[in-house]
Amino acid sequence: MSANACGAKSARNSGTPAPIATGGVPAGTASHYFADRDDLLDHTARHIHHRLTPDPAVIGALLHAPRDRALVTALMHDLLRRIDADRSGYLAMLELRLEATRRPEVRARLTATVRQELEANIAYHLDEGFPGDRETVVVLYLAMTGLLVEHLTLPDVLGPENLPALVDTLVARTVPAG
Cα angle 171, 174, 178; round to 5: 80
Binding to a copy of itself by CB under 8 A, coded x per residue (else -) over 125-144, reads ----------xx-xx-xxxx
User: C-beta of 126: minimal distance to a copy of itself in Å?
Assistant: 16
Q: Which is nearer to a copy of itself, 56 or 161 (CB)?
A: 161
Long-range contacts at 137-145 (CB < 8 A, ≥ 24 apart): 137/1, 137/5, 139/174, 140/1, 140/72, 140/76, 140/170, 140/171, 140/174, 140/175, 141/1, 141/5, 141/6, 141/9, 143/170, 143/174, 144/1, 144/6, 144/76, 144/79, 144/170, 145/6
Find the binder of a copy of itself among 60, 153, 160, 164 (CB under 8 A). Answer: 153
Task: Report how far residue 15's alpha carbon sits from residue 38's, in angstroms, rounded to the nearest whole number.
Answer: 9
Is residue 123 part of the contact set for a copy of itself (CB under 8 A)? no
Query: Stretches 21-29, 31-39, 43-51, 76-84: which one binds a copy of itself (CB under 8 A)?
Result: 21-29
Find the binder of a copy of itself among 25, 58, 65, 85 (CB under 8 A). Answer: 25
CA distances from 141 to 8, 22, 65, 79, 122 (A): 12, 31, 22, 12, 10
Query: Stretches 32-40, 48-56, 69-77, 110-118: which one binds a copy of itself (CB under 8 A)?
Result: 110-118
Query: Stretches 34-42, 48-56, 60-68, 111-119: which one binds a copy of itself (CB under 8 A)?
Result: 111-119
Task: Report how far residue 49's alpha carbon sits from residue 13's, in angstroms, rounded to the nearest whole number.
Answer: 9
Q: Which of residues 43-102 bind a copy of itself (CB under 8 A)?
A: 91, 94-95, 97-98, 100-102
Residues of the shown chain interacting with a copy of itself in the complex, contacts defined by CB under 8 A: 15, 17-27, 91, 94-95, 97-98, 100-102, 107, 110-111, 114-115, 118, 135-136, 138-139, 141-147, 149-150, 152-154, 156-158, 166, 169-170, 173-174
